Structure 1
């Protein structure tokens, strides 16, 4: 264990020394601050995935001032707790298969995290909100913090948090109750505001504000409870009473949040509450950005907004994120700030893993262990240059769902209790994934090509699941 830490320490020192020279050469003046705002279970903002008039004026403005990637995804999850491996993958730039633990919550000691790397390169790293990846990677990543929520989920009122500890000795025993009567969204926003108000250090900061909403329980704060009327809330075009076949997790916890079969009235209430929680977050992000502007920090602060995964909330007869449809693997990804060309809508296929190498390039830092990273730099897109990105992407869920997107097509393969199922969608003509064209004769060559590409990704990501799809279409 000592040798492992020693190797990691020496690697960080060598990278930091070489990075210091490059950063000074590529980034003139004081290095920019980074404000990374992250939400929990939020689908893409401002796209077809929000059929109602979802009120997010702050996020809309943020996207308009920079670049919003319209085809941003997570790789998926190795268990029902999709957010844990998704977060670990994002912070390391690596495949979800490199995360460990019984549900992918453990980030191995050998992997360098983004805040850990920035900390080694002179950044003051600070966090408030949800951290879902064990104590050890948090300790090596952050210089400070407030009201840290180490659990995976919990109530929006009356939950427990930890204060930052310089000794790194975190336990459930030294947690404390969150302030009585304060909604989780407000607690973390207020902590971020206090941090920005009081920050006077010379070092640039990396501030990670990780809301634990709109994840259930969908307990809406009083001021937002009547913002969306369930009676007039539209059902999405892909609403179904039940999923058409067994996808492997039809009765997981998330799916039991609504009755079977799905009742349209109940789903409208879930959607209304989901939207209300997102609008609440949006307002509080506005408060944070206002402080940034009032203190004059906005001119030298890169703002990033993203979420750990999406959510079905009634689409395809599902409630959770334990699937590979667009509503669950598609996530928002916005960059805004100095050096980011405004008024952009990026079309390239992107992953959250791209954030790490993008920030390295943005700051003039070498990308650590670049050859092992799944993430790719998006810097050309941020700068307004022509950027095509990947030609395909791979998505996974547990041991029984695999998917690939290439061009307009998305192929999803299932193996559940020995039964195969194949779906194919044309996202250009069917963005809601309502028309499965896998059985069409003229689609068989397309399916074969997509399966071949899927197998290449399978090998590249070291997917431990045996390849279970062949050349024939199974139903």
Structure 2
């Protein structure tokens, strides 16, 4: 079809079209060359061994795996203090607990009057937001927008505290609500700025309430009992005296949902009638099965273990699905090409290893935490690193990605050079990682301790009553059941690691630990 307009009318239109196309091209080029957006998805108590990308063969986490396949997976990502609040404080400060002031999960208010990742990014031109679980007894600081769960938050029909400190109750399952709020913020954000968004998930925190659609998702799987499930803790006084065992500590009612009181328990009073009907029907069936079996001894302990994992993994299923929803949003909105996506948990977690649940110890399952990162055009898909990275490194790495200056008081360093496609073998990196845990005696009676981990060995000193050293050869004893400290042939490695431990304490300015070390038993 031909136009009937004269050419002199078409010329301005052609010029306009050329101008529009040129502007669009320049805008696209500017977006491509601009600072990358960054999304940090941060879960709670999600064990690395619960993720298929980390080797779990019975449970699939396709969306976390997708980030790893399209980017990098860190196999030795270590926390400095294996507990929720302190790990979150470390994310925001890039500092150890003794330096940022948040050592325990107690009533301490996180000190926001210190150098923060969020504020540093905002000063570098980023729009910043935190949505979901924060758990630091304070409101977010350095964020342009926030909408966070109060305290631990609720799995069903959760409350959120938004600006200006208003509380709103949302109907639905918490993981779904967090994702919805996150995508809504992304839709409304200031498009003229790059953004940094923390998506803080409640999953997979105790008491492990699955989404209705995931109830019974793993009921047909019989999970194998870990080799050290019946650990007798020989030569490990602190491990012997803990209170975090599946056998003794895990509660039938609150944790495993046996004989629930839907009318009096505040957790279930939040349910609406439709939610309660579905949830109750499933757990009434589990309760009936439990009473019919009349289990005792090891049979009871192993039944508790199976129920624990079935609920835990069902909660993790909703977490992974929501990560997929967010990744799909980035694809459909065109943001994926210029958005770095990170997934991490605040620390590791025990899934029956040593007979436990929870975290805290310097042992592998709670010391290491999952960390996967996708950075299109910078990190080669399928990258893996065995280097000892730490959660004090998270903030410096994010700042490095953003092109922002890393503050001098941050104690970590960026591990981006370890992940870049152009990495050379000469990248200098740490050979030892330092750890210090404080919370005692409540709630799980894990003695305070400090220590270090190398690629092969782990040395720890428990104090506050346990007063004992532990040394493990991770190459020969990966499940950490054989404490070789004080045995013949271990003298040289013990002395070497003690010397390195003191160096790290001085490097990270842990004065309290240095005093304890000076008076520690030999």
Return the TM-score normalized by structure 2. Answer: 0.75
CA distance in 2 between counterparts of 1:29 and 1:439 reads 58
Select which of 247, 251, 254 maps to 2:238.
247
Q: Which residue is 2:386 aligned to? A: 347
Q: Which residue is 1:32 aligned to? A: 36
| Pair 197,265 (structure 1): closer, same or farther in 2 beyond 3 Å | same
Select which of 507, 515, 522 maps to 1:460.
507
Provide, for residues 239-259 of structure 1, a one-character-per-residue CA deviation record: whole Å limited to 9, x for no partner: 136655552872379983348
How many angstroms does 1:65 deviate by? 0.9
Deviates more, 1:202-211 or 1:251-260: 251-260
CA contact (8 A) 2:117 2:399 kept: no
Q: Aligned runs of 1:11-26 on 2, under 5 Å?
A: none
CA distance in 1 between counterparts of 2:58 and 2:195 reads 35
Alignment partner of 2:238: what SS?
Answer: coil
CA contact (8 A) 2:127 2:190 kept: no
Provide, for residues 104-139 of structure 1, a one-character-per-residue CA deviation record: whole Å limited to 9, x for no partner: 654434422111111111111122101122335x1x
How many angstroms does 1:213 deviate by? 0.8
CA distance in 1 between counterparts of 2:492 and 2:406 reads 38
Provide, for residues 402-446 of structure 1, a one-character-per-residue CA deviation record: whole Å limited to 9, x for no partner: 1211230111221242x4333222223332223333343111211
CA distance in 1 between counterparts of 2:54 and 2:404 reads 35
Select which of 197, 204, 221 maps to 2:211.
221
Q: Which residue is 1:10 aligned to? A: none
Select which of 119, 122, 127 maps to 1:124.
127
CA contact (8 A) 1:197 1:291 kept: no
Unaligned 5+ segments in structure 2 are 1-30, 253-296, 439-446
CA distance in 2 between counterparts of 1:109 and 1:225 reads 39
Q: Aligned runs of 1:434-449 on 2, under 5 Å?
A: 434-449=481-496
How many angstroms does 1:290 deviate by? 0.4
Alignment partner of 2:490: what SS?
Answer: helix
Q: Aligned runs of 1:65-214 on 2, under 5 Å?
A: 65-76=70-81, 82-100=83-101, 103=104, 105-136=108-139, 138=140, 140-146=141-147, 148-151=148-151, 153-165=152-164, 170=165, 174-179=166-171, 182-199=172-189, 201-214=191-204
How many angstroms does 1:318 deviate by? 2.4
Provide, for residues 153-205 of structure 1, a one-character-per-residue CA deviation record: whole Å limited to 9, x for no partner: 2431143211232xxxx3xxx423232xx111111112122223444521111
CA contact (8 A) 1:35 1:304 kept: yes
CA distance in 1 between counterparts of 2:58 and 2:198 reads 28
| Pair 439,54 (structure 1): closer, same or farther in 2 beyond 3 Å | farther
CA distance in 1 between counterparts of 2:502 and 2:103 reads 25
How many angstroms does 1:304 deviate by? 1.0
May I ask how many residue pairs the two structures share in their alignment? 428
Deviates more, 1:193-202 or 1:345-354: 193-202
CA distance in 2 between counterparts of 1:423 and 1:436 reads 6
Alignment partner of 1:141: what SS?
Answer: coil
How many angstroms does 1:230 deviate by? 6.9
Asked if 1:382 corresponds to 2:419, the answer is yes
| Pair 92,230 (structure 1): closer, same or farther in 2 beyond 3 Å | farther
How many angstroms does 1:296 deviate by? 0.6
CA contact (8 A) 2:472 2:480 kept: yes
Superposition RMSD on alpha carbons, in Å?
Answer: 2.8
Unaligned 5+ segments in structure 1 are 1-26
CA distance in 1 between counterparts of 2:325 and 2:373 reads 18
| Pair 373,198 (structure 1): closer, same or farther in 2 beyond 3 Å | closer
Return the TM-score normalized by structure 1. Answer: 0.82
